[in-house]
Structure 1
Amino acid sequence: MTKLSRRNFLYTTGAAAAATLASPLVARAGTDTIKVGGLHDLSGALDSTGVPMNQVFQLAIKEINDAGGLLGKQVEAVIYDPQSNMSLYSQYATQLALKDKVDVVMGGITSASRETIRPIFHRYNTFYFYNTQYEGGVCDRNEITLGTTPAQTVKRVIPYAMNLYGKKVYTVAADYNYGHITAAWVKRYVEENGGEVIATEFFPLDVAQFGSTISKIQGAKPDFVLSAMVGTSHLGFYRQWAAAGMKSQIPIVSTVYGAGGTEQVILTHEESDGIIASFGYFEAIDNPTNKAFLEKVAQEYPDKKWVMSEISEVTYEGMKIWADAVKEAGSTKRDALLEVLTSGKTYDMPAGKVKIDPKTQHAVRDVYIATCKDGVFGINETFPDSQPEDTQMVCDLIKDPKSNTQYEISL
């Protein structure tokens, strides 16, 4: 496999061109349209994740328009590039709500970006879909959350890995909301299964050198490393781990590796093979909907340099589920759509069966454990209808529809 540099990835996907536009507005259509906002990182620290999200977001819109649009109108994509910058996230979220007056927004990658824009959309009643796996706890009637939470994935992969490798765990994680809260869930699930987290280290997103940490892990001799590392710079951990000859000594289990869809492309097979992960989607899912979906993606992006991941597939889901609700409700108004979305309806998606839990407005979905081999994840186990139990502990939008917060779940 040829190793793809970050620079070449940007060039081949067209993200570099998008990042150089004089205006942040990338796509516009006519005036008599239904507007939907896209707010994904097309440049910056998380561009390798944001570019695939944006591409399948546009694919879903194309499919909706090719099928006749919605309510007699075509759907217009209004796309901004926040460049992994929280100030730009705030600026563009405000523009989408007040200037562009979009009916819904699909966007945000990190929890920091979500918590920057979510209150803005709530304030201005702009319906918001967050389509990224995250740490759980958001309780907001104005948000639909389709990505997985720790109770759906970490809860499954920890006992699986402990049964496979042993009970001593060393955690390395990104130094922001997702990493810290996920590390706490890791500790809880490890201890519930009779194990021990012998150390936990956190790293800012721009850190790319991990030599001293690898030395610490060598000395600690855990049974496996649990990685909640995020972004392109953190891929250096896996590369340096392999270079140090550690892959054959201590296995890696990750809550996030492969989530962006470019990790297995940027790293070599030698660097990525053997990593175990758990998500709500892998390309290897064997159902007719997924096969048709992957064929559409291949036709639309024949030169794509990424692997379909949960974050991208769920972004596609977000647009398709929202469009289905618009058709059924005969409206783009949030409350009318929520009646449809929280009615218990099940959606047949590439990832499997998906429905919205009315209590949390999070997805109840099939979850998978898989192992990376030759740059591709092969599914080991499937867990149907997994509930967002963590967020259900703190959120009840049926009883408190005015809720607008991210709760820190007591662990």
Structure 2
Amino acid sequence: MAHPYTRVGAGILTAAAVLAVTGCGGSAISGTSSDKDEPLKVGLVVPLTGPVSSTGKALRNAFELGVKKVNDAGGVNGAKVKYVVVDDGGDPATSTQLARRLVQRDGVSMLFGTITGDTAEAVAKVADDAKVPFGTAILGDGGQCRPYAWGFGESTRQLLTPTVPALLEKYGKKVAVVGSDYNFPHHYLDVAKQQVKRAGGSVVAEEFSPIGQTDWQPVIKRLKAARPDVLLTMVVGSDAVSFSQQAKQFGLLTPELGYDGAPLDSDYYPALSALVNGRTHTVRWTDRLDDPASRAFVADYRKAYKFDGPMPEVAGNAYFGIQFFLAAAEEARATDGEAINTEIGRLSFDSPLGEKTRFSGANHLLQADMVQVTIKSGGAYEVSHKLGRVADTTPTPGCA
């Protein structure tokens, strides 16, 4: 692998320019400027409270370390990066309000963050209107592309393309899908149906429930009645824990059932360890990647936040994703959102997520490497198979 964080292509960036940051904790300066000496300001919209707050905090922590990395190496365009963190509580209306405030009052040149697909869509609309780039680190995509929105997380196809055929070969051809009732899980089901059909299987049940569900017994009863061989779940937040525990309690989740989806993410391991140990899972990043830059990030994260559990995948996406964004800002030589957005679409970037990663112009999804991990007792998400680049250049409305 080339040296991490090297700008590939015309105009190679120095290591100091590409990697920098010392946490500039939230004081923002209003207004934007194209003056290269003007500090770049980033707005982070993230749920620090509410049902997905644990994942939101991991995203914030990794974002702050990513900015610190860049600032420690000199910042962007000779100035330290500034940022403002706001808590949207996982509510799309709040996400919209706060994103507008960040742009209009705090004068940010780019936006980053959110966890659920509906809050990401809310911020993306604001970003489009304001013509400032917005980066997400969450897994999945909502099936719609926006000119100023860029997804650093694993897309649905990147997740399911290697996962579905392996599950069907091992467990059987009948697949059930369950998810939280918002845009991304529905898109996940649509893609899953395509992948299952391509692998020679069939979807025998599909269930969606609003976030905050506590009694899953009726849903589990219907899923169990379909007698699936494989269960794909995109139930998120604290609901992922309650659903999985009740699925075990009421006899749906057994060792003989193929099981994959959000509850296998490392975020949930402390609560679900007994239910996921020994299973395999497809991810973009794990804290067990044997790469110097990844190992250094893991060590810094554990020291800074006194964290000793398996690190959430979103942390790696956020840490390396914000560095990608800031490298594009360095290349743009400006704090103008439109200029930075153009450079994001042109940039090719090396990191533990892969060599020469770049975005597909057809859908603004990062074309990066994927790995299969085996979940070991104690929370080690060990790499069992390097999948390489799992491309997803499927055109989506808005950018195709």
The normalised TM-score by structure 2 is 0.85
**What do the CA deviations read for 1:118-166 (whole angstroms, capped 9, x no partner)?**
1111111222112222234332221222112122111210001011111
| Partner in structure 1 of residue 7 of structure 2 | none
Partner of 1:367: 370
1:66 maps to which of 63, 72, 81: 72
Contact 1:52 1:306 in 2 (8 A): no
How many residue pairs align between the two structures? Answer: 367
1:265 to 270, 273, 295: 270
Separation (CA, whole Å) in 2 of partners of 1:90 and 1:351: 30
The answer to whether the 8 Å contact 1:253/1:277 transfers is no
User: Is contact 1:207-1:233 (8 Å) kept?
Assistant: yes
Is residue 2:128 matched to residue 1:122? yes
Further displaced range: 282-291 or 118-127: 282-291
1-structure distance, mates of 2:134, 2:252: 42
The SS at the match of 1:283 is: coil
Q: Equivalent residues in 2 for 1:297-336 (5 A)?
A: 297-301=301-305, 303-304=306-307, 306-336=309-339
Pair 1:305–1:243, CA change in 2 (3 A): farther
Q: Is the counterpart of residue 240 in structure 1 residue 226 in structure 2? A: no
Distance 1:189 1:30 in 2: 45
- Aligned-partner residue type, residue 324 of structure 2: I
Structure 2 counterpart SS, 1:78: strand
Asked if 1:351 is matched to 2:353, the reply is yes
Structure 1 pair 134/88, CA: closer, same or farther in 2 (3 Å)? same
- Aligned pair 1:337/2:340, yes or no? yes
Which residue of 1 is the match for residue 9 of structure 2?
none
The 3-state SS of whatever aligns with 1:119 is: helix
Once the two structures are superposed, residues 248-285 of structure 1 have per-residue CA deviations (whole angstroms, 9 ceiling, x without a partner) of 443343232344x4201233x21332443222122222
Structure 2 match to 1:160: 166
1:151 aligns with 2:153: no
Which of 287, 292, 299 is equivalent to 2:296?
Answer: 292
Q: Does 1:280 align with 2:284?
A: yes
Match of 1:22 in 2: none
Distance change (3 Å), C-alpha of 1:215 and 1:376: farther
Distance in 2 (alpha carbons) for counterparts of 1:66 and 1:275: 39
Runs of 4+ in 1 over 6 A off after TM superposition: none
Q: Which of 184, 187, 191 does residue 185 from structure 1 map onto?
A: 191
Query: 1:385: how far off?
Result: 2.1
Structure 1 residue 39: Cα displacement: 0.5
- Aligned residue identity for 1:321: F
SS of match in other structure, 2:157: coil
Matched, 1:39 2:45: yes
Equivalence for 1:199: 205
CA distance in 2, matches of 1:124, 1:395: 16
Deviation at 1:339, TM superposition (A): 4.4
Counterpart CA distance in 2 for 1:225 and 1:97 is 42
Which AA in structure 2 matches 1:29?
Answer: S
CA offsets 1:314-363 (integer angstroms, 9 cap, x no match): 11122101111222332233343344433362x22233332222333220
**Partner residue, 1:132:** 138
Secondary structure at 1:234's aligned position in 2? helix
| Residues 394/118 of structure 1: CA separation in 2 closer, same or farther (3 Å cut) | closer
Q: Distance in 1 between matches of 2:233 and 2:165?
A: 15
Q: Distance in 2 between matches of 1:103 and 1:46?
A: 26
| 8 A contact 1:280–1:310 mirrored in 2 | yes
Q: For residue 20 of structure 1, what is the aligned residue in structure 2?
A: none
Offset at residue 393 of structure 1 (A): 5.3
Distance 1:162 1:120 in 2: 41
1:142 is matched with which residue? 148
Q: 1:216 aligns with which of 191, 211, 222?
A: 222
Where does the alignment leave 5 or more consecutive residues of structure 1 unmatched?
1-25, 398-411
Alpha carbons 1:148, 1:388 under 8 Å: kept: no
When residues 136 and 117 of structure 1 are mapped into structure 2, their CA distance, relative to the original with a 3 A threshold, is closer
Partners of 1:389 and 1:330 in 2: how far apart? 29
Separation in 2 of the partners of 1:118 and 1:285? 31
Provide the C-alpha distance between the structure 1 equivalents of 2:268 and 2:145, rounded to a whole number of angstroms: 31
**Cα separation, 1, equivalents of 2:217 and 2:372:** 29
Stretches of structure 2 lacking an aligned partner (at least 5 in a row):
1-23, 30-37
Alpha-carbon deviation of 1:107?
A: 1.5
Contact kept in structure 2, 1:262 and 1:307, CA below 8 Å: yes
- 2:56 equivalent among 50, 54, 63: 50
Amino acid paired to 2:359: I
Q: More displaced, 290-299 or 239-248?
A: 239-248
Aligned CA distance change for structure 1 residues 124 and 329 (closer, same or farther; 3 Å): closer
TM-score, normalization by structure 1: 0.82
Report Cα offsets for 1:209-261 as digits up to 9, x if no partner: 222333334433221211111111231111123334554443343232344x4
Aligned-pair identity (%): 24
